[in-house]
Amino acid sequence: MKDMNLANNAEFSEPGKDKGLFNLQNLLDFSPDIVCALDKEGRFVYVNATAKKDWGYNPEDLIKQKLVDHIVEKDRPHTQQMLAAARSSLVSTSFLNRFCCKNQKARPTLWSVAWNAKEELFYCVAKEGTDTADVVKKATKLENRLHRAYKLAKLGWWEWNIHNEQFDASDELYELYGIDKDEHPTFTSGTYLSLVHPDDLPFVMENVAIFWKTSSHQYQHRVKKPSGEIINVEVNVQTSQDDDNNVAQVHGTVKDITVQKEYEEERQTLDEKLQLANARLARALETMSDGFCTTDRDWTITYMNPQIVKMLGAEKKEDFIGKNLWECFPVADDDNFRAAYLRAAKEQIPVFIEEFYPPLNIWVEVNVYPNANGLSFYVKDITQRKQQEKELLLSNERYQLVTQATSEAIWDWNIVDQQVVWGEGFTTLFGYPSDALENNLTSVVELIHPNDKERVTSSVAHALENNKNKWTNEFRLRKSDGTYTYVVDKGFVIRNEQGEAIRMVGAIQDVTEKKKQEIRLEFMAKATSEIIWEREADSKWVYLNIEKYKEVTGYQLEGPAISQSFWVDKIHPADLPVMLENREYAAKHNLDFYLDEFRMRKANGQWAHMKNRVYVIRDFNCNAVSFLGAMEDVTAQRLFEKTLQESEETYRLLFNNAPLPTIIFDEATLLITDANKAIVEQYGYRRDELLSMTILDLHLKEEHLRVLEAVKEMKTPSRVAVNGVHHVKKNGELMLVEVSATPIHFKGKEMMLATANDVTEKTKLQQQLLEEKVNHQKSITKAAIQAQEKERSEIGKELHDNVNQLLAAAKLYVENIKYVPDQKDYFITQSVTLINKSITETRRLSHALVTPTVRDTGIRDSLQSLIDTYQELENFEIDADFLFEEEKIEPGLGLTIYRILQEAFSNTVKYASATLVTVNIWIHQKKLHVIYTDNGVGFDAAAVKKGIGLRNIINRAEAYQGNVVLNTSPGIGFELNLTFPLEEVSQG
């Protein structure tokens, strides 16, 4: 063996060649792994003896043969790529492929390859790779997940090999920087610097100089994408050195930290707001009306606000801070104040106390709260409130007298014990005897109209819970005779010192007549086109029909009134003095009516001419008590009047230069009274000829009746259009026109202004588009039929060439049992295996043939079932990622996607020789994205562009306005990219 290897590895004995492997041959022949060397062309120049045991080849059989010629054809491109990568790298490269042994079996082999540039040789070690194959599959999945992690983390990476000047960048880096990989296939340092924000470029150049001098470095800067968007990024750089301590490789990552930067800026803003809030709190404590002080755990006063100093009759709070609380506020050992303070400190709970404090001769209310350092005291002087409570007893007696003297229904609700006292008004106003109502709120709530009840009770609860002191509501109340009356209920809320509502006193007033009057006025306001308004003489508020005001002026207002200043602010400055002069004149001469006209600025900034009729309501002494008015928008009228004042020359210029043929005709006689240049030029008649004709002379006789009917409709004030009529030119030529007409007042008579638009060519184009649409639909139908025929043919082939052959083989095994009974078990086992394969194939064909029940099982489950079917074939690995909400995809679109992917899987099985298929489906910006890829042999897209399968995919996609992009060429795999617009999917 040694002599044989010496002869066949002669290259190593040539002068100038490294004899390292030759000298170690005896040792390498005992290696359990295959050790070999390849020249720069990938040919074997040395193989150890283990090749005979593992591959079946004698070493001399492999010398000068190319390694790739012994690799499974499908794995050859990858092997060549890895050899090239090893040649360009400073470290060894490992990869997995399948080696074709001498017995024609493919053996999974794990290679470790290192390139010796000096000798121009590859040194290789080949190991049994069966166990490694599963690891590689898992690694592939992990690599795909790593890329997805990069994408989610907005992280891109790059590597720079200094020796061979090779620069690699990840797809995520291209996406992060917003640049097209096709436009920049090589990502260089120049590409990077062109994306740096101009203001940050000097800073970046300083940091680039730094990372050449250190093993790792980090810096941040801004990037300006080609789209103009500016983002913040964080760059991390690591360098590795060669044997001469020179930088050999540079590795870097770039992370989008725009959101983090925004968070930091927002946090800084919040810190500033917190400091401002603390300052405001300090100012609030200093200016609050209640006294406030704090003590530490030793009862030493640490803070006092000016109000509590004022209660003590002192001048400076510094006289108390740092002193003992009991010395500043002396109390007896058995005093309630001492007991309350000690309890708050011991039990760490808030304590409330209301007591008379003899040293200051005042009633105080003290709220004591424990804090981290001691106690906080809120002190309020309630002496005045105590006096008011005494006076309240007297007011109750007065209340009884008031209820008897007023015409309103007075009520008094004690909220604490839920007792209600009803006044005499419930009898006089609503007919209920004094003993008919129970002393609770429910008895009257039940009298409220069902449609008003929830609104009224909710408003009462809202007033009580939100510290309101007054409450008013309007609702319908049932009287004793069963009829309903409109009432206004007004209540006053009485609260204790803690702000809790303890009592509510109110009065109900019957406003039925007033309500009827308001309803009548409301309907009157809606029925008129004018803005009806009212203002009391001593009020600054103007009440008006607010909807009409919005309609006329465009201002969006809340409530039934606007301030007088808001009204005046919208009046043109030049017109305001005249208005004031009119008002003063009316007041001076006791006029009951005067008229204003002014310009008012509308919400859109335009000026409207307003006519305002004002009526003055006076008392017996002729003093004005209120003003009523009706304001009308007369802008159109004024513009019309202005138009009438325009000169005949201006009218003639506008009329004659109108681009469309235009005439004026008498609506009674149909005679043409005027015609512009356009109709003279387009129709071929002289102007004097047109003025002697009627409009019927321009139409076909068959359409005269239709024209006369249209003229009758034209007599309405609005503009009328007549489509699809034929006009006759002087030379007899017909043209299809659209006619629109408007009534006008011209030369003292009612006339019609009519224009004609030639739509002959437009109509022809519309008809042509319709025909093209029909032809396109026919082509889609034809392609669908061809696809169905193809599918039937494919299924027939599968049944004949695959399932039928499997069943025939199984039948043969079963029949052999009677001829060779001693091999019965073997024949039965083989028959069962073949029958199971037949079942699997039949099931796959059934899935392909039967329409999936997308609506019942869901799109996701249907697609997963399809993937599982092809996964069972074990032809390739399938990696699927679904990121979408099913309810956003209608079933029809889901079925279309299912059929397209079914077609793609079928093509991959038949033609691609792929080991990995990926399916990604997600929704982004109201679009559904579907990407199908395989790493197979690919094909020439131009050569199969008109194939039935591809046309079927395109036609299915176009049915849902889908866009199809195909990326493939021989040797680079296949990618199908689909995009569908999404619409709202109705539920139910």
Q: What is the pLDDT of residues 731-775, one digit of tens each?
A: 988 888 888 888 887 777 888 888 888 888 877 877 777 777 667
* Cβ atoms 296, 374 nearer than 8 A: yes
Three-state DSSP state, 532? strand
Query: What letter represents residue 372's amino acid?
Result: A
Give the mean model confidence (pLDDT) for residues 64-79: 93
Give the mean model confidence (pLDDT) for residues 472-501: 90
Model confidence band, residue 986 (pLDDT cutoffs 50, 70, 90): very low
Query: What letter represents residue 303's amino acid?
Result: Y
E strand spans, 16-154:
34-39, 44-47, 93-100, 106-116, 121-128
Of 1 and 431, the one with more pLDDT = 431
- Backbone torsion region of residue 670, taken as left when φ is above 0, otherwise alpha when ψ lies between -120 and 50, otherwise beta: left
Please give the backbone phi and psi of residue 935, each rounded to the nearest 5 degrees, phi first: -100, 35
Q: Which residues contact 420 (CB under 8 A, 6 or more apart)?
A: 411, 412, 413, 414, 439, 440, 441, 443, 444
Q: What is the pLDDT of residues 380-425, one digit of tens each?
A: 988 888 877 776 666 655 555 555 555 688 888 998 888 888 887 8
Q: Which residues contact 798 (CB under 8 A, 6 or more apart)?
A: 841, 845
Q: What is the pLDDT of residues 86-118, one digit of tens each?
A: 887 655 678 889 999 999 999 999 999 988 888
Examine the pLDDT at 894 and tell me if it is beyond 80: yes
- Return the pLDDT at 988: 38
The lowest-confidence range among 254-268, 487-501, 938-952 is: 938-952
| Spatial distance between the Cα atoms of 699 and 694, rounded to a whole number of angstroms | 10
- Backbone torsion region of residue 794, taken as left when φ is above 0, otherwise alpha when ψ lies between -120 and 50, otherwise beta: alpha
Q: Are strands 963-968 and 974-981 parallel, antiparallel or unpaired?
A: antiparallel
* Cβ atoms 754, 698 nearer than 8 A: no
Cβ atoms within 10 A of the Cβ of 318, count?
A: 10
Percent over 70 (pLDDT), the chain: 83
At 866, list the tokens. 């399809």
Q: Are strands 916-924 and 749-758 parallel, antiparallel or unpaired?
A: unpaired
Q: State the average pLDDT for the chain.
A: 82
Q: What is the pLDDT of residues 578-637, one digit of tens each?
A: 988 888 888 888 888 888 889 999 999 999 999 998 988 888 788 888 888 888 888 888
- Return the pLDDT at 790: 65
Model confidence band, residue 312 (pLDDT cutoffs 50, 70, 90): confident
Q: Which residues contact 329 (CB under 8 A, 6 or more apart)?
A: 337, 359
E strand spans, 199-242:
216-224, 230-241
Q: What is the pLDDT of residues 321-342, one digit of tens each?
A: 999 988 888 877 668 888 889 9
Cβ atoms within 10 A of the Cβ of 619, count?
A: 10
Examine the pLDDT at 10 and tell me if it is beyond 50: no
Task: Beginning with the edge strand found earlier in the chain, give each strand of the sheet holding 419-422 in spatial order.
Answer: 419-422, 409-414, 501-510, 484-495, 470-478
Give the mean model confidence (pLDDT) for residues 917-936: 93
Q: Are strands 607-618 and 166-169 parallel, antiparallel or unpaired?
A: unpaired
| Spatial distance between the Cα atoms of 978 and 428, rounded to a whole number of angstroms | 80
Give the mean model confidence (pLDDT) for residues 656-667: 86
The terminus-to-terminus CA distance of the chain in angstroms comes to 82
Q: Are strands 720-728 and 106-116 parallel, antiparallel or unpaired?
A: unpaired
Model confidence band, residue 805 (pLDDT cutoffs 50, 70, 90): low
- Return the pLDDT at 406: 58
Dihedral sign (CA 22, 23, 29, 31): negative
Q: Which residues contact 945 (CB under 8 A, 6 or more apart)?
A: none
Of 347 and 162, the one with more pLDDT = 347
- Return the pLDDT at 637: 80
Model confidence band, residue 776 (pLDDT cutoffs 50, 70, 90): low
Crossing angle for the helix pair 512-527 and 546-553, to the nearest 10 degrees: 20
* Cβ atoms 271, 177 nearer than 8 A: no
Q: What is the pLDDT of residues 435-448, one digit of tens each?
A: 788 888 888 888 99
Give the mean model confidence (pLDDT) for residues 215-240: 90
Q: Are strands 916-924 and 877-883 parallel, antiparallel or unpaired?
A: parallel
| Spatial distance between the Cα atoms of 882 and 930, rounded to a whole number of angstroms | 9
